[in-house]
Amino acid sequence: MTKSVLGIDVGGSSIKAGLVDVTTGRLLVPLAAVPTPQPSTPARLLDAFVDLDARLAGGGAIGLAMPCVVQQGVTRTAANIDSGWIDFDCAGRLRERLARPIVVLNDADAAGVAEMRWGAGQGSTGVVIMLTFGTGIGSAIFNDGVLLPNTEFGHLEMQ
């Protein structure tokens, strides 16, 4: 039996979604994408998430990757999205709309978790760093397979 999760990734220019088999890490259907609404307020993005869920007939748990520092489902920062996301209970508000389990992670952390489970990082020990390049630069650091969340190298100020 296939166990699927709806994965949603928020980028500065588009929101991508797909049903993922969590046993294999493979997509079950082609990705769906919509432009990131401008302004990218919480209300507008939540509407987009609900619409994508309806298009893909998710029905199960949802994993949401946000370009933010995320702590217990609350977005603490906002990179390339509206500042209304700062200190927003993203998981709680989306759970109210869809009545299903919701996990919200920093987008690079989510990509790193996938690579460590199904990709290039599988079985790696020691320190592993995942970098993502899109509208911004994201990073995820693992030590012996354990994520150090919200590292956000792309937001370091160099002098």
Query: Hey, which bits of the chain come out as E strands?
Result: 4-10, 14-21, 32-35, 62-66, 70-71, 74-75, 88-89, 102-106, 127-133, 137-143, 146-148
CA distance 70 to 122: 24
Q: Mean pLDDT of all residues in the chain?
A: 92
Answer for the pair 20, 28: CB distance below 8 angstroms, yes or no: yes
pTM above 0.85, yes or no: yes
CATH number of this structure's domain 4-107: 3.30.420.40
| Residue 60 pLDDT > 90 | no
- pLDDT tens digits along 80-89: 899 999 999 9
Where in the chain do CATH 3.30.420.40 domains reside? 4-107
Beta partners for 147? 142
